[in-house]
Amino acid sequence: MAFSREHLHTYQRDGYVIVRNLFSRDEVKRLYDIAVGDAVLSTKTYDRVDASGLKTRLALWYTLDDSLYSKFARSARILNGVEQILGGQPAHYHSKLMQKEPRTGGAWEWHQDYGYWYKNNGFLFPDMLSVLTSLTPATQENGCLQMIKGSHKMGRVEHGFSGEQVGADLEKVNEALKIMPLEYLEMEPGDTAFFHCNTLHASAANLSDKPRWSIITAYNLASNKPYKDVHESSYTPIEPYEGDLLTESESGISETADFLVKR
């Protein structure tokens, strides 16, 4: 369950790596059950429409609180890998709960996370990554993540809007697909993917009768302070949480978690 040198090598080569069973089925089921019934999270959830008009629901917040979600984001199991990757103290940029509902959950267009964070949030260096943990099974049928292996080595690609989403220059994406492998990241609950902020990734619509829920936390090197973003969490070093997610009280998220509001 540890993040190993082999994991780090794979991440550096491919731009992402999956650590299987980083969290137990019981831990992620508890997190999922709390999220499904979390009234605050429900009111803060909004839609993002893809190019075809289908909707993916998500809630995004910046501030760490006493909730189970924050203990998850501070988990030493995740931070061990994040610190190895970044080569220094990590900070919590944001967390988000992704909710692709059966038959209606939309696609995410090809993009790099840094394409947005550089332009709109003022992070000068790509010393950033995202960590996704599946709360439900992720398959090709229900729209699992797709990664272009090695695309992080291309550097930042220009982005524009596709529907309500920010998407990468499709000319560059299509050329990358000619010479780099495409991988579908099928994952079981508790599997966790670490991926570079410049790795091109996407996901298809959920055409199945099963939901695809995941929690994604974005981390930044604490010294990589943005010049536009006002969220102190993005440059405040994280104190790791050493426990498991089963012994904590069932604490939902706080109203003061500094949620992103859709404009």
**Pairing of β 55-61 and β 201-203:** unpaired
pLDDT for res 55? 82
In the predicted structure, residue 163 carries a pLDDT above the cut 60: no
- For the segment 124-152, the average pLDDT, to the nearest whole number, is 97
The share of the chain scoring above pLDDT 70, in percent, equals: 97
The structure's pTM equals 0.94
Q: What is the pLDDT of residues 13-52, one digit of tens each?
A: 999 999 999 999 999 999 999 999 999 999 999 988 777 7
Q: What is the pLDDT of residues 202-247, one digit of tens each?
A: 999 998 999 999 999 999 999 999 999 889 999 999 999 998 888 8
Kindly indicate the confidence band of residue 2, based on its pLDDT and cuts at 50, 70 and 90: confident
pLDDT for res 263? 65
b/e per residue 65-102 (b: at least 16 CB within 10 A): bebbbbbbbbbebbbbbbbebbeebbbbbbbbbbbbbe
Q: What is the pLDDT of residues 100-124, one digit of tens each?
A: 989 888 888 899 999 989 988 999 9
Residue 136, helix vs strand vs coil: coil
Of 48, 2, 24, the residue nearest 263 (C-alpha): 48
Domain edges within the chain: 5-235
**Pairing of β 128-134 and β 192-196:** antiparallel
Residue type, 39: A
pLDDT for res 1? 59
Q: Per the structure block, which two tokens stand in for 115?
A: 């394409």
Q: 59 near 259, Cβ under 8 Å?
A: yes
How high is the mean pLDDT of the chain? 92
Tell me which CATH homologous superfamily contains domain 5-235. q2cbj1_9rhob like domain (2.60.120.620)
pLDDT for res 162? 60
pLDDT for res 104? 81
| Cα–Cα distance for residue pair 85/119, rounded to 1 Å | 23
Cβ neighbour number for residue 233 with a 10 Å cutoff: 19
pLDDT for res 108? 86
Q: Per the structure block, which two tokens stand in for 120?
A: 């709109």
Residue 214, helix vs strand vs coil: strand
In the predicted structure, residue 157 carries a pLDDT above the cut 60: yes
Looking at per-residue pLDDT, the higher value among 197 and 169 belongs to 197
Q: Where are the beta strands (DSSP E) in 135-199?
A: 145-148, 159-162, 165-168, 182-185, 192-196
Spatial neighbors of 73 by CB under 8 A, at least 6 apart, are 64, 92, 95, 217, 238
pLDDT for res 139? 96
